[in-house]
Structure 1
């Protein structure tokens, strides 16, 4: 099928140009069209989809083409903008409204790079720098810069950009961010190469205290050096997150790692550096964060399990078969075995995410509990129940018979001897 002509002049813009220059894979291409009207795009067969500004889908490829536009701040927050798009808007004007110089480059049909704001130079210098003062008009850009720091951890943040972000936070712009957008950017940043960099940048500019104060409160809180050579609770949280990222953990595991120790920030000062009962406090705080940011259930539920039980998982080498079964039941490991495996991934990251030689220490708790889980799942609960019924057992005795069968299976699987 013949490609329809594109009105005006079309350029690839933004991330595709940046990633190609960095030698990274390019998966999606965004296009901007200069010198065309919305009606011309429609007449050429493009389908309009933009609600806030003119975006069109290519009739064959489905790729997005946006008309070149400028934006003018009209109110607080990231929604307070008036958009202007017509054939008079130049490519340079369109690129000027973008966040970072490395995202403000374009490429024409002949492969020539259009770089009016020094993005190529900043790529070479490994620098995250804002394009211009209009950056301060959109608070989402604070989160985006932090996310790019996680994606490109070898890049440093330009001092002027950091100062601009601090000014935005001080002016209350970060307080206007809607929960859905905060979660969207945090979730994307958590899945980057170095997610701790996102939180470091947010702390540097003061935004972490606005969007995740429960996490921000962990820095400066001490814990026992024998179990945590890194001492600082905030640093531990980052080490755990990086351990999860190094293991290729999915988003629910990384979120659980980020949430698992929030309760340590509320430990009474006279108890420090111990953190007795922090698990229950962490469960409550993680639930509050999940409700506020509208975190997906898969992430919120795993975070609750890990916050509540990570200490017991760490101590599970000391547990007999009966106590191991109770741990599995509290984690709902027999009804949701896949989620339990994710919980153990988070617990392993918690073990590895410490200072000293902890990252080199094995974590036998994980395979041991997985073996116990498999053994318990292999028990024919129906057969155990029917056998109890045949003996005339009541409801409670039937449940006890099933539990005992599972305990025996766990005991055999773990090679335990003697009473449990």
Structure 2
């Protein structure tokens, strides 16, 4: 191996993902000469505390000084797995300006400042790879940028948060309420101590912004993605969905329409025979529709030390191959269009609505009249008496613009015959 080229790299962060990347690089060392035409070797690992023991990692590589890495001409690849916006953004930008190639798993940074760092990579002829930023170990960024590049993609959607998928799976299969399912997810380590980013949909929204930007070749940022979480989903909603032959999933949905890009994250009812309906527990899956490929689905582990480490290491290998071939900076920012982002009020969806109403003649007709006056068509109704003069009404609409549905909802909330509207959810319908 003495005549094999050695490419030096630095790892920023030695947490869960960092330790996974470290392990994979050790396991692959003997394979690298054949796979890459080189060996990637870690020279430095940036940590906050160099004295803290980290099992299985060589402590002689630890440094708490970023300048040691930035100013070292031997280090050609910087691998950022720290997370968060700062100091990661500064480190990545400085590394690119210094001519170093970057591999990152940082969805927060890319969803908000992707253009800035991609522009820096292009300016300096550097690779910037970020496969691990979306859906953990599932290959989706490279397929969108390369394998599916000959398609006009009209939809990319899926389950891109394992915590919420685990919670909804438990609510569906074990008939648990949200709070109990969340407590179990926390106990098993699927949910963070503060689960807000997961259960409110923010984590998924960042991933949707990244995927939509690549799929539609136009910049979509985190703030462009309409976001709704799963905290208000109840066992009653799950039961009605099951009765209607559907399941509830937190879906990230991005569509490229004639009138602009739609991007949202929301709990949605999806037919039980749709491929995504069977993606359970902490698994993720992404569903893509293109004019040439038709439908394609990517499924696997969406998080974790080794699945995410696998995606990071795959990017490191790609950068190493580019360095050996002298072809770095081939594919950077692909957002060459400037498409309109549609306001959520213009987005069309079907809706599921659960309401408690007075149990007497004429109530359903009155509600249907409100819908009709606001351009909302009813597709399905379930009515059940719950006693004491109250009936539970579940309505699924046909596709309608959000603003029309909101107008109808506003009227119904003021109707004396309507006692409560505890649940309004969207129903997934594949775009034409």
Do they superpose with TM above 0.5? no
Which of these two proteins has the greater Rg computed from alpha carbons? Answer: 1
The structure that is strand-richer by fraction is 2
TM-score, normalised by the number of residues in structure 2: 0.30
Larger RCO (alpha carbons 8 Å, 6+ apart): 2
The structure that is helix-richer by fraction is 1
TM-score, normalised by the number of residues in structure 1: 0.31
